[in-house]
Amino acid sequence: MNKTKLKLIIASVYATILNAIFVTVITVWAELSLPLKDWLKGFTGHHWTTKSIFSVLFFVLFTIIFFFILPARENNLRWALRCLIVVTILGVLALTLFFTGHHFTIW
Amino acid sequence: MEVLSFLQSKPVLIGLHLGFAIVGIDAFFWLLGKIKDRNGSTKSRVVTAAVGTLAFVASWISGGYYYVIFYGSLVKPVIKQGLAPWAHNIVMEVKEHIFLFIIPMAVTIFFITLLHDDEIESFGIRRLALVLTALVIALGLLIGAMGFVISAAARWGAIS
């Protein structure tokens, strides 16, 4: 068994989970907080470009961190993959519900 | 016309965005079959996942460039003043953000393809790898459908 590959996959899965949470939270937060959205715009000229760059940096940084701190356990990988699938679906649903509510001025 | 200015023109950017996305979706469909049926070598799975991931990255860059440079000033006002402002307020907003989920997911699947078939089996992740790959495909198709709705809203917005 190759422990390095297992560690890399586990690190990547957890970083992907954090990325999905980060994108969802920063997007909703920026829609509700004009100063944050202006700050994101000011960083690169467009809020989406800033989120894209932060998203990539976030993923790379946490993949490296998790690679060195998380143990290479097979059951950890299975659990993390299940989490990733659930978090991704919840992220899509959360963004859809949020922007739908925002459009109809529910919030 | 210079190659760079040709690549930066609006129809070409849209075409590249869609074309690369189709390549990405197809590559991950292909990978889905390879993982499910346990056929193909590790190298063939790695190459297929790499093609899919790079195609999604190219789609992200070309679509992102179009979105940042042209969409906000030219397309968004037409949609917002047209028959379906929700196409921007809901569909485009969701589309542009869930796209940011895809690249890390694709990279993760690429890392999974580095495993040999017996390792995928011994780690007990074949089914989860299939579901994750299917999720990337589903998100790609969803984003494609959203793009169609946004384009249609812009067309109808322009003639209404």
- How do the domains of chain A map onto residue ranges? 3-103
Please check the confidence at residue B133 and state whether its pLDDT lies above 80. Answer: yes
Q: What sign does the dihedral B39-A77-A83-B143 (CA atoms) show?
A: negative
Contact B72 A46 (CB under 8 A): yes
pLDDT at B128: 98
pLDDT at A2: 75
Mean pLDDT of B54-59: 98
Dist. CA A46–CA A88, nearest whole Å: 24
Contact, B109 vs B135, CB < 8 A?
Answer: no
CB-based contact (8 Å) between A83 and chain B? Answer: no
User: CA–CA distance from A69 to each of A7, A11, A56, B64 (Å)?
Assistant: 9, 9, 20, 34
Contact B123 A92 (CB under 8 A): no
Count Cβ atoms below 10 Å from residue B64 Cβ, excluding itself. 20
Q: How many CB pairs under 8 A join A and B?
A: 107
Which pLDDT band, with edges at 50, 70 and 90, does B160 fall under? low
Mean pLDDT is lowest, of A16-20, A103-107, B121-125, B155-159, for B155-159
Picking from B18, B21, B39, the residue whose alpha carbon sits closest to that of residue B30 is B39
CA of residue A5 relative to chain centroid, distance = 22
| Burial status of residue B38 (CB atoms within 10 A of its CB: 0-12, 13-18, 19 or more) | exposed
Average pLDDT of the residues of chain B: 94
SS3 of residue B1 by DSSP: coil
CB contacts of B123 in chain A (<8 Å) are: 6, 74, 77-78
Contact B107 A12 (CB under 8 A): yes
Contact, B51 vs B27, CB < 8 A?
Answer: yes
- pTM for the whole structure: 0.94
Please check the confidence at residue A98 and state whether its pLDDT lies above 70. Answer: yes
Preferred mutation among A25, A96, A102, A105 to probe B, highest tally of B CBs within 10 A: A96
Mean pLDDT of B102-117: 97
Please check the confidence at residue B79 and state whether its pLDDT lies above 90. Answer: yes
pLDDT at B31: 97
Single-letter code of the amino acid located at B72: G
Picking from B84, B134, B85, the residue whose alpha carbon sits closest to that of residue B109 is B134
Chain A, nearest residue to B129 by Cα:
A81
Contact, B28 vs B133, CB < 8 A?
Answer: yes
Please check the confidence at residue B117 and state whether its pLDDT lies above 70. Answer: yes
pLDDT at A1: 61
Please check the confidence at residue B1 and state whether its pLDDT lies above 70. Answer: no
Å from A65 to nearest chain B CA? 15
Query: Which tokens sit at A26?
Result: 């920063």
pLDDT at B3: 86
SS3 of residue A78 by DSSP: helix
Nearest to A88 among B60, B105, B111 (CB): B105
Contact A16 B98 (CB under 8 A): no
Mean pLDDT of B82-86: 92
| Burial status of residue B118 (CB atoms within 10 A of its CB: 0-12, 13-18, 19 or more) | exposed
